[in-house]
């Protein structure tokens, strides 16, 4: 392929990447506007729990990424346009002008200040859900945290090792680069798969009465949606980065910008966090209580017909109900015990 054809392909791919990036940035802002009222209600007040910190960090880092990434992609288009208008040394087949060090620095900031931190924060949310779903199984909790740390280290090391290759690819779009850069997304892909498998395991090993419960099934369904979005975006990144031939720039460059990964994963995670906050607010309970295996498995219960009520079948109790104990049912919750058509009201 002639050098001019390669540069035309590079310029076209840069424009397509900018359009794709702009589309996902618009999606991030659109979803932010839709959920802003819920965000204010559930996350702008109260104590600084891990879930609150994670939500706000993911939300506003993704917004910052959307703005910063569009600025960088627009600059890349300008560099590509300047390259396409230059005359090249036919003998060396190398353009006399290369992208500036400012472009490299901007890409460094984009990857290490936005893409990796946002990805790790999203995985931290999933790890936190695993922590509460397996509250009695210390080994699984330690494994989930260790997996999070290992993934963060692996992502950072792989990206650092491939940095020279990334810079060379930016400076020499006419030369095929190494496909090893595709390995950068593999640790995240594997960790999302393992964490989703743990959620499914938690559901399958639960008693039959809990499997039919709408709350537990809702957690699995939400995890399924998060997993689908994460896997789709990560697979797009892996496959696209593995296509390194000059003729495949139209796929390689859009995969390298990481916008689908940041947008889809952050939006799905934020939606799930808002969902569980909404359910907790409706039932007047703490969100952690909903995810806690010890609390869910304590009794056989369902929601009442009135907001803030839970119906508990007395015949399912294996231990006495202590309504004043801090590890008992949540404060502020009205509990009706149904036994032989009689209802006993407990108020905290």
Say whether both 243 and 306 belong to one domain. Answer: no
Q: Lowest mean pLDDT of 46-55, 270-279, 337-346, name the range.
A: 337-346
* Domain final position from 241, 258, 285: 285
Confidence class for position 339, pLDDT limits 50, 70, 90: very low
| 225 within a domain of the structure (yes/no) | yes
* Selected residue with higher pLDDT from 345 and 114: 114
Residue 150 has pLDDT above 50, yes or no: yes
Say whether both 147 and 55 belong to one domain. Answer: yes
Torsion over CA: 109, 113, 118, 124 (sign): positive
Say whether both 249 and 281 belong to one domain. Answer: yes
Say whether both 150 and 227 belong to one domain. Answer: yes
Q: What is the tens place of the pLDDT at every residue in 127-147? A: 988 888 887 889 999 999 999
Say whether both 330 and 214 belong to one domain. Answer: no
What is the CA angle 53-277-318, rounded to 5?
115
| 202 within a domain of the structure (yes/no) | yes
Say whether both 209 and 308 belong to one domain. Answer: no
The pTM for the full model equals 0.73
pLDDT at 237 (0 to 100) = 84
Count of beta carbons in the 10 Å neighbourhood of residue 282: 11
* Domain final position from 237, 259, 285: 285
Q: What is the tens place of the pLDDT at every residue in 169-196? A: 555 555 555 667 778 888 999 999 999 9
| 93 within a domain of the structure (yes/no) | no
Give the mean pLDDT of 77-86. Answer: 55
pLDDT at 148 (0 to 100) = 94
Say whether both 274 and 327 belong to one domain. Answer: no
Say whether both 266 and 176 belong to one domain. Answer: yes
pLDDT at 92 (0 to 100) = 46
Tokens of 304: 């009442």
| 292 within a domain of the structure (yes/no) | no
| 21 within a domain of the structure (yes/no) | yes
Query: What does 184-243 look like in DSSP terms, one character per residue?
Result: GGHHHHHHHHHHHHHHHHHHHTS-HHHHT-HHHHHHHHHHHHHHHHHHHHHHHHHHHHH-
Say whether both 186 and 319 belong to one domain. Answer: no
Say whether both 147 and 174 belong to one domain. Answer: yes
Give the mean pLDDT of 290-316. Answer: 53
CATH number at residue 202: 1.20.1070
| 291 within a domain of the structure (yes/no) | no
Give the mean pLDDT of 305-315. Answer: 55
Give the mean pLDDT of 224-234. Answer: 88
Q: Are strands 334-339 and 342-346 parallel, antiparallel or unpaired?
A: antiparallel
Give the mean pLDDT of 199-213. Answer: 73
Indicate the number of domains in the chain.
2
pLDDT at 71 (0 to 100) = 81
pLDDT at 85 (0 to 100) = 53
Confidence class for position 241, pLDDT limits 50, 70, 90: confident
* Cα–Cα distance for residue pair 59/117, rounded to 1 Å: 12
Tokens of 184: 């950068």
* Domain final position from 249, 264, 285: 285
pLDDT at 333 (0 to 100) = 34
Q: Which domain holds residue 304?
A: 298-346
Nearest to 180 by CA among 197, 166, 194, 191: 166
| 192 within a domain of the structure (yes/no) | yes
Say whether both 7 and 65 belong to one domain. Answer: yes
């Amino acid at each position: 392929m002639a050098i001019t054809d390669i540069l035309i392909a590079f310029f076209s791919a840069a424009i397509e990447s900018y359009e794709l990036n702009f589309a996902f940035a618009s999606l991030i802002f659109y979803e932010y506007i839709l959920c802003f009222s819920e965000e204010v209600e559930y996350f702008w007040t109260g104590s600084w729990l891990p879930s609150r910190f994670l939500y706000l960090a993911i939300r506003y880092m993704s917004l910052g990424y959307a703005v910063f990434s569009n600025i960088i992609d627009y600059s890349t288009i300008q560099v590509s346009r300047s390259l396409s208008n230059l005359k090249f040394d036919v003998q060396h087949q190398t353009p006399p002008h290369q992208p500036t060090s400012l472009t490299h620095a901007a890409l460094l900031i984009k990857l290490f200040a936005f893409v990796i931190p946002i990805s790790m924060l999203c995985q931290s949310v999933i790890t936190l859900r695993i922590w509460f779903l397996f509250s009695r199984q210390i080994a699984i909790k330690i494994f989930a945290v260790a997996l999070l740390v290992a993934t963060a280290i692996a992502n950072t090391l792989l990206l650092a090792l491939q940095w020279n290759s990334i810079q060379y690819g930016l400076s020499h779009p006419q030369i095929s680069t190494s496909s090893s850069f595709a390995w950068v997304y593999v640790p995240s892909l594997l960790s999302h798969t393992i964490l989703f498998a743990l959620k499914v395991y938690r559901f399958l090993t639960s008693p039959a009465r809990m499997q039919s419960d709408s709350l537990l099934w809702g957690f699995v369904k939400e995890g399924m949606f998060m997993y689908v979005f994460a896997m789709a975006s990560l697979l797009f990144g892996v496959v696209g980065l593995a296509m390194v031939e000059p003729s495949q720039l139209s796929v390689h460059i859009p995969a390298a910008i990481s916008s689908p990964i940041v947008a889809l994963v952050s939006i799905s995670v934020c939606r799930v966090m808002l969902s569980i906050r909404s359910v907790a607010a409706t039932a007047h309970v703490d969100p952690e209580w909903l995810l806690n295996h010890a609390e869910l498995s304590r009794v056989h219960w369902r929601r009442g017909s009135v907001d803030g009520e839970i119906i508990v079948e007395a015949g399912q109790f294996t231990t006495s109900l202590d309504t004043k104990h801090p590890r008992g049912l949540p404060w502020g919750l009205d509990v009706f015990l149904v036994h032989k058509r009689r209802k006993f009201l407990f108020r905290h």
